[in-house]
Amino acid sequence: MRARTITSPRRVVVREGVGTNARHPDATVKVKGEFVYSSDLHRDGMLWGLTLRSPHPYARIREIDVTGARGMPGVRAILTHRDVPGRKTYGMKVADQPVLASDVVRYQGEPVAVVAADHPEAARRALARISVDYQVLEPLVDPRAALERDAPLLHPGGNLVRHVKIRHGDVELARAAAEVVVTGEYEIGMQDQAFLGPESGLAVPTEDGGVDLYVSSQWLHEDLEQVVASLALPPEKVRIVLAGVGGAFGGREDLSIHIHASMLALRTGRPVKMVYGREESFFGHVHRHPALMRFEHGATRDGKLVFVAARLLLDGGAYTSTSQVVIANASYFAAGAYEVPNARIDGFAVYTNNPPAGAMRGFGAVQSCYGVESNMDKLAGALGIDPLELRLRNAMGTGTVLPTGQPIDGPARVEDLLSRLRAMPLPDVPPGAEAWMLPGGHGNVTHGEGVRRGVGYALGMKAIGYSGGADDYSTARVRLSVVDGEPTAEVWSAAVECGQGILTVQAQIARTELGLETVIVHEADTSIPNAGSSSASRQTWMTGGAVKGACEAIRRRVLQGASGALSRSLDELMFEGGAVVEIRTRKVVMPLAEVLDDEAVEESFEYHHRPTTSIDTETGQGNAHVAFAFAAQRAVVDVDLDLGLVRVVEMAIAEDVGRAINPLAVEGQIEGGIAQGLGLALLEELQVVHGKLRNPSFTDYLIPTVADMPPVRIELLQTPHPDSPYGVNGVGELSALSSTPAIVNALRNATGLSLLRIPVRPEDIALAARGTAAAAGP
């Protein structure tokens, strides 16, 4: 990939700086089809790597025999667990996942062997000739059974990944005092990130015995740590370079082809390319945790919450991945964005022989948001209070103490968001005004006589950045020079662009801080210090802070240079428009070229957020979070009761984004997140039957198309966050939380059905509606 340059004509006010809809430097090459995705890489003489995967969810491996594949034409290497040079296992938090399985496989699709050949066909034929003798075992597939006494133990430490306990106030006392109590049990199926560009990359052996790995990722340095451990190489011998990323959404936090391709390249001495197809991609990354959740809400008759009790069970699948953090995040926000004096929250993540679960946009908060927001509607029904009104009466604000004991000290304009949502007009087109607008579209099987409209609301909150005592940071280096008479800034950071726009954000910040217009953001690789992960809605805040810090240091250096050269006091001068200017007259007193004298100034900055603490293992108490973000959503749906078909008519959202560095990009994040939440509500589920994936294809795993996705009304609030650079807040995940429960609440509003499990399928509506009608009938 090339470095991206944007040049705009010079003006006094810097163009495409912070707060503008600056265009994305990578978008030009992307619309021309010239952007190099990780699947587009090519080297002369490269081999193709393929993976042999277990067909069984749980089996003992008696023997792996590769002799049948040896010596086949075009086959250059066949590697198994014996060939892993270093640590035989990997993992983001716990290295418990075999690089290649040795004695046991714990999920269907677990890698067992890898092959490199001249052509993918040759590699495929070789895979077919490897014989693995499996002793098939009865898989543990029900997360409820995982903690039972007689359950098979999938890992030496047992089947519990983590139990998170949060104890706040006195729930027993509050329950006795509550006037109305409602309980609901909610279930979520397995969602997939379904990024459009499958896992892929290219490993190139280097002359010093190391490897250059070009790969799509979310966090290059975390990848590096795991890769070098398994390759038994010193970190300086492995360089990981970000190749073009075709979407991520959490699914690229864990390794995919990284170690396999590197091992094959090192073994053969040739570049090795690996590309998963769509089917393999479904086996090649972790999924969103399926969830079973019980929520109990108690309130006074006039609708003040007195307690919440929640029990969450997340199916972590076969390996740890990020499960212990996902369950923490789910538990932190199980009480929702409400003022709740008493809470008792128990979150469990367990191992099963289902596909491993890990990070996906929202990271646990999606699951608990669906549960708590569903039960809030149930409570509203029991109280006879309008659901939006109930939320308003209990909305948290700055100063509210979370169940974890931490007071919210940043902006929390939850009431305001709800009021704004209420003020937004409802769509004025009646249900089925035109045939194609009927649920199910053009099918024309009814005239819309069974169609009902419903409106639903949901509130979402999430922590921004890494919680729980992590000293998270990002590093950036900025260099200022004059190129062909033009002041030019170059930015180096290892922040991963997945499409969210962090390249643009870095360029915008450098423009604003240095008052110039030409900024080059260089490609990300591990020779640049760590920028942390493109996840947790953190990158604009963290790497934005690092770029800003580096630019400020450069400004100081330039001004010091000028003040020395001109013998003038520092406070008379400022750096603006690429020159040193006298503050009083705003006249240029020294052009940058003169200050720099053909040299460049370069500064690095490491940005840390404020410190947090871990939570107490028994009570869950602790100041665990950096910051919080909030959004309120409304869904309007049309439902055909006879057919069970749904059409989402409109989504509306009010979100406080702190400050939008690039408003258009922020809206893009919001709309994309809503679409994924819509998918979870209505369409998206990996069907896992007895540990096996039944629908690993886009024919059978449905993601929303433009026909499913309605227009979105967006109202951005911009309340600067006091702790962040420019007042920004995280925006990557929030809209994905509340869109799901808003839609399901709208379905419940339209149908009167309880619809506890998502995604809601047509038969869930049509059969239940018929049952209700029959029960109510003559």
| Interface with another protein (CB under 8 A) | 21, 23-24, 26-28, 30-37, 39-40, 42, 193-198, 245-249, 277-278, 436, 498-501, 664-665, 667-668, 670-676, 697-699, 703, 705-707, 709, 711-712
Instruction: Give the residues across from 336 on adjacent strands.
Output: none
Please, what is the minimum distance in Å from the beta carbon of residue 499 to ligand FES?
5
Closer to ligand FES by CB, 247 or 762: give it. Answer: 247
- Which residue is closest to ligand FES by CB? 196
Residue 195 vs 338, nearer CB to another protein: 195
Alpha carbons 328 and 248: distance in angstroms, whole number: 22
Name the binder of 527 from ligand FES, another protein, none, CB < 5-8 A by kind. Answer: none
Least distance from ligand FES to the Cβ atom of residue 692, Å: 24
Least separation in angstroms between residue 38's CB and ligand FES is: 14
Q: Give the number of other CB atoms < 10 A from CB of residue 302.
A: 10
Between 134 and 283, name the residue whose CB sits nearer to another protein. 283
Which candidate, 499, 509, 733, 468, places its Cα nearest to that of 607? 509
| Closer by beta carbon to another protein, 283 or else 333 | 283
Nearer to ligand FES, 515 or 704 (CB): 704
**Which lies closer to another protein via its Cβ, residue 336 or residue 499?**
499
CB 374, min distance to another protein, A: 23
Site residues (vs ligand FES, CB under 6 A): 196, 247, 499
- Least Cβ distance, residue 498 to ligand FES (angstroms): 9
Contact 621, 615 (CB under 8 A): yes
Residue 697 binds what, of another protein, ligand FES, none (CB under 5 to 8 Å, by partner type)? another protein
* Encoded tokens for 731: 């925006």
CB of 12 to another protein, least distance (A): 24
Q: Choosing among ligand FES, another protein, none, which partner's interface includes residue 404 (Cβ < 5 to 8 Å by kind)?
A: none
Nearer to ligand FES, 247 or 727 (CB): 247
Nearest approach in angstroms of CB 441 to another protein is: 9
Q: Which residue has the tokens 């919450």?
A: 305
Judged by beta carbon, residue 499 or residue 561, the one nearer ligand FES is 499
Judged by beta carbon distances under 5 to 8 A according to partner kind, the member of ligand FES, another protein, none in contact with residue 32 is another protein
Phi first, then psi, for residue 252 (nearest 5°) are: -115, 20
In the list ligand FES, another protein, none, the entry touching 709 (Cβ below 5 to 8 angstroms by class) is: another protein
Following CA atoms 405, 411, 416, 421 in sequence, which dihedral angle do they give, to the nearest 10 degrees? -90
Per-residue HEC secondary structure of 516-557 comes to CCEEEECCCECCCCCCCCCCCCCHHHHHHHHHHHHHHHHHHH
Dihedral sign for Cα 438, 441, 446, 447, please.
positive
Strands (E), 58-118: 59-65, 75-79, 89-90, 97-98, 104-105, 111-117
Query: Which partner in ligand FES, another protein, none is near 249 (CB below 5 to 8 A by kind)?
Result: another protein
The entry of ligand FES, another protein, none that residue 250 binds, CB within 5 to 8 Å by partner kind: none
Question: For residues 100 and 360, which CB has a smaller minimum distance to another protein in the complex?
Answer: 360
Contacts (Cβ under 8 Å, ≥6 apart) of 122: 48, 72, 73, 74, 75
Residue 45's CB is within 10 A of a number of other CB atoms, namely 7
Apex 414 CA angle, 410 and 420, nearest 5: 130
Q: Report, in Å, the least distance between residue 563 CB and another protein.
A: 42
Shortest reach from residue 30's CB to ligand FES, in Å: 8
H helix runs in 644-728, sequence order = 663-682
Contact (CB, 8 A) for 556 and 564? no
How would you classify the pairing of strands 579-582 and 588-591?
antiparallel
